[in-house]
Structure 1
Amino acid sequence: MSATEIQSPRSGQIGGKPESGKIAPKYRRNGSSRGNFEMLAWLFMRLSGVVLVVLIFGHLIVNLLVGEGIHAIDFGFVAGKWADPFWQFWDLAMLWLAMLHGTNGVRTIINDYAEKDSTRFWLKMVLYAASAVIIILGTLVIFTFNPCPVVDGVQLPGGFCPA
């Protein structure tokens, strides 16, 4: 290699002499599944991002532009919306995709910036635990929501619940 020739960024010197056109051993891919996981995570980010745009703009249009707009949003509005299984699954898809999309993005940031393996491990464990709790609680709220609860045989008051 001459003084003016620039070495390929991922080529290395094998055995003390430069190997032009060859990839250094530390940059070679092995047969592990980590590369496949990262490729699938990258693909998930792109696809979930497109689906989230549709879900979020649909959510905003229905909640803010249709009917009385923002002035109609109250407990009764949400109760009426979640009485329909279509809107339950719409909001569930939005919750799950947003949480998984965000978790995957933060996981990537942790992998990029956490230097110690132990720090990286614990940050990701906290991230996964928090995401799981939010997904589970959000799913429970969407499917167990009762706008007219009955406690000890007495229906709790609400302006929209039948007496």
Structure 2
Amino acid sequence: MMTAPDLTTPRERIRSGRMRRQAERWSWMFMRFSGAILILLIFTHLFVNLITGDGVSQIDFAFVAGKWADWWWQWADFLMLVLAMLHGGNGMRLLINDYAHRKTTRTVLMGVLGVAVAVVIVLGSLVIWTFDPCPVDADPSLLPSFCATVAA
């Protein structure tokens, strides 16, 4: 009678890099849930930006300023940014675990991945949350229509 191989031996754990089964289960569940939410967010984003109105020709500073003047769009874009980076980072973590066989290589790659994900989330968050839709010295023809009422 054949039995399944024992994947919990120390040799297998070191080679694959996957040592915590419960953490891998949560990682698997996160990928499924975040993927489903990302599909909804991305298709909403594409529909609003490309299909409604004048299509891609409407996307300029005023369009983005008008969207980000609404708190809902800021939160939707922030959620999309964070989920996309964590989802992609988790996928890259799995690839690193599968293909980086040396511990030092795996450690370096995981560190670079963690820094890259954190930097993109921080910089993207700064853009979303500190964006000024009505800059003082901007050309009024480039600003959204609601900026004239704010300045007055």
- TM-score, L = length of structure 2: 0.83
The one of 16, 19, 26 aligned to 2:9:
26
My pick for the range that moved more, 124-133 or 140-149, is 140-149
**Structure with the higher helix share, 1 or 2:** 2
Distance 1:75 1:67 in 2: 15
**Do the aligned residues in 2 keep the contact of 1:95 with 1:135 (CA within 8 Å)?**
yes
CA RMSD of aligned residues (A): 2.3
2:139 corresponds in structure 1 to 157
Residue identity opposite 1:78 in structure 2: V
2:55 corresponds in structure 1 to 69
**Do the aligned residues in 2 keep the contact of 1:148 with 1:158 (CA within 8 Å)?**
no
**Do the aligned residues in 1 keep the contact of 2:41 with 2:80 (CA within 8 Å)?**
yes
Structure 1 runs not aligned, ≥5 long: 11-22
Identity of aligned residues (%): 52
1:157 to partner: Cα distance:
2.8
SS for the counterpart of 2:9 is helix
Distance 1:148 1:85 in 2: 16
Structure 2 runs not aligned, ≥5 long: 14-18
Q: Which runs of 4+ in 1 moved over 3 A?
A: none
* CA distance 1:57–1:76, change in 2 (3 Å): same
- TM-score, L = length of structure 1: 0.78
**Structure with the higher strand share, 1 or 2:** 1
Superposition pairs for residues 9-20 of structure 1, below 5 Å?
9-10=4-5
- Structure with higher Rg: it is 1
2:16 corresponds in structure 1 to none
Q: Which has the higher contact order (CA 8 A, sep 6+)?
A: 2
* CA distance 1:105–1:142, change in 2 (3 Å): same
Q: How many residues align?
A: 139
1:141 to partner: Cα distance:
0.5
Distance 1:131 1:67 in 2: 33
Distance 2:7 2:77 in 1: 48
The one of 39, 45, 48 aligned to 2:25:
39
* CA distance 1:109–1:156, change in 2 (3 Å): same
1:25 to partner: Cα distance:
6.9
Superposition pairs for residues 40-119 of structure 1, below 5 Å?
40-119=26-105
